[in-house]
Amino acid sequence: ANSATIQIYARVRPPRKTAGANSLPRAAPSRSPHPPEPEPFSSRYTIFPPSNPGSDDPKDPSRFPHLHFDVPKDADAGIVNNTKDSFDFRFDAVFDRDASQEEVFDVVAKPVVQSVLEGYNGTVFAYGQTGSGKTFTITGGATRYADRGIIPRSLQHVFAEVARHPESEFDVHIAYLEIYNEQGYDLLGENIADAAVESLARETRRLEDLPKVSLHPDPSDPSSFQLRNLAWHAAPTLPSALNLLFLGDTNRMIAETPMNPSSSRSHCVFMVQVVRRQTGGGTGTVRRGKLCLVDLAGSERISRTSLAGSTLLREARSINLSLHHLEQCIVALHEKSLGRRDHVPYRNSVLTCMLKDSLGGNCRTVMVATVVGE
C-alpha cells in the first residue's frame, strides 16, 4: 500500500500441481466489524483481511489486507540464503485464487482507464515470477470469453464510454511495444496486415525481424523522451482495436518461440492514446490521455532457473536489472510524494524511460503482484 497515485495489489494463483492452465486467483474483503480467522490456502501463505477497514487514516497499516508467507530455509550448496522464515506484505487489496477476471479489472484497472478518458495518463503493470499469472491477468486466456484480461476489457470500456458520449469526438490510437535485452521492437510495424500474414506463414520469424524502436531526448523538453520508429494505429471501433491486439500478440508469440518456448523473456507494453474533443456546448475542450498496460518479463533468481548458455543468462540478467530500475523509480516516486527526494532515475532503463509520462505525479499507477500459491 503506497501513496494515492501508486496502488499495489496482489493476485494469488493456486499451486501449480492443482492449477489448470487458466486457473483464476479472489478479492477477499471482509465487511464484518470482526474479521474472520484467515483461511490458510496452503502451508506456505495466508491472506489476512484488514483488521480495521474503517480507519480514516491513510497511513494506518490495519486498513489494508496483507499476505503472510512462510519461507523454508533455502540451502543452496550447503549455504542458507534467507535469514527470515516468514514475511508479511501489505496491499491495497488481495485477490485470492477464486477471483474472476471481471473482479480484477473492476478494482485494479477500471478506475485507471476512466481517468485516461478524463485526460490523465495511467499505467497498470503485472509483476511476478514466470508462470504466476501475469500474462493471464493482463491479456487473458484464449478459451473462454470470461477469461478476457485487462487489455481487452479496457478497450471495451473505452469504446463503451465513446458510445455514451455522442457530444464528444474521440480519436483512439494504439501501439504495441516489446522490450528485449534493452532493445525496443514494434509488434505492430508499419505494414501491419502484410506482416501478420507473413509471420503466420513463417514459423521461424525472429524478434529481430520486427522494426526496432529507439529512445531519444525530446528537443522541446530534455527531461522527456521520444519513441522513434514506433507506429501508432487508428482504432475507430472496438473490433479494430481488438484486431490490433491479436496481431501484436501473434508477432510476440512467434518472435519468442525460437528463443524460449516456455516463458516470456521480454517486457510487453500495450499503449492506448485517447484524444477527446468536447463538441457540444461550444467549449471546444480537448483532453488527452495515455494508457500503458504492461506485461513484465518473469522475475527469477538466476540460481533457480537452471540457465544454460550465454543467451538465457544474458536474458535473465537484463530482465532482473530492468525490474530493479523499475523498482527504484517506484520507490523514488513514493519518496518524492512524501517530500523526501526530488530526483527519479527514469534514465536507467528503456522501460522506465518510456513510462516516464505515465508513472507517478498526476498519473494513476497500479501494480499487480502475481504470486504462485505453493
Q: Annotated binding site for ATP, which residues? A: 128-135
- Cβ density class 347-368: b for 16+ within 10 Å, e for less: ebbbbbbbbbbbbbbebbbbbb
pLDDT computed for residue 21 by the predictor: 40
- What cell does 102 get? 471481471
Helix 110-117 × helix 150-164 angle, to 10°: 40
Does residue 360 belong to any structural domain of this protein? Answer: yes
Q: Distance between CA 177 and CA 335 in Å, rounded?
A: 29
What region, left, alpha or beta, does residue 182 occupy, with left being phi > 0 and alpha being psi -120 to 50 degrees? left
Q: Let me know if residue 249 belongs to a domain.
A: yes
Assigned domain for 172 exists = yes
Domain holding 146, by residue range, is 103-314+346-366
Q: What share of the chain is helix, strand, coil (3-state, %, to 5)?
A: 30, 30, 40
Burial class of 305 by CB neighbour count within 10 A (0 to 12, 13 to 18, 19+): middle
Structural domains counted in the chain: 1
pLDDT in the model for residue 368: 94
For residue 372, being part of any structural domain is answered with no
Q: Can you tell me whether residue 245 is helix, strand or coil? A: helix
Q: Is 56 part of a structural domain of the chain?
A: no
Number of C-beta neighbours around residue 189 at 10 A:
23
Q: Mean pLDDT of successive 10-residue segments in the chain (374 residues)?
A: 68 62 39 38 58 63 65 58 69 88 96 95 91 91 92 98 93 95 88 53 62 87 84 96 93 50 75 90 84 88 56 78 90 85 89 86 88 73
Q: How many whole angstroms separate alpha carbon 234 and alpha carbon 171? A: 7
pLDDT on residue 158: 98
Amino acid at 318: S
* Binding site, annotated residues: 128-135
What 3-state DSSP class applies to 193?
helix
* pLDDT of the residue at 273: 97
pLDDT of amino acid 374: 60
E-state strands within 286-373: 286-295, 364-372
Q: Which pLDDT score, from 0 to 100, does residue 33 have? A: 36
Residue of 370, 366, 369 whose CA lies nearest to 3: 366
Q: Which alpha helices (H) appear in 75-208, and where do they start and end?
A: 101-104, 110-117, 134-138, 150-164, 192-201
CATH code for position 248:
3.40.850.10
* Predicted local distance difference test score (pLDDT) of residue 22: 40
Dump the DSSP string for 82-114: -S-SEEEEE-SEEE-TT--HHHHIIIIIHHHHH
* 16 domain residue, yes or no: no
Does the residue 7 lie in any domain?
A: no
65 in any annotated domain: no
- In the chain, the N- to C-terminal Cα span, in Å, equals 24
For residue 306, what pLDDT is reported? Answer: 53
pLDDT at position 92: 86
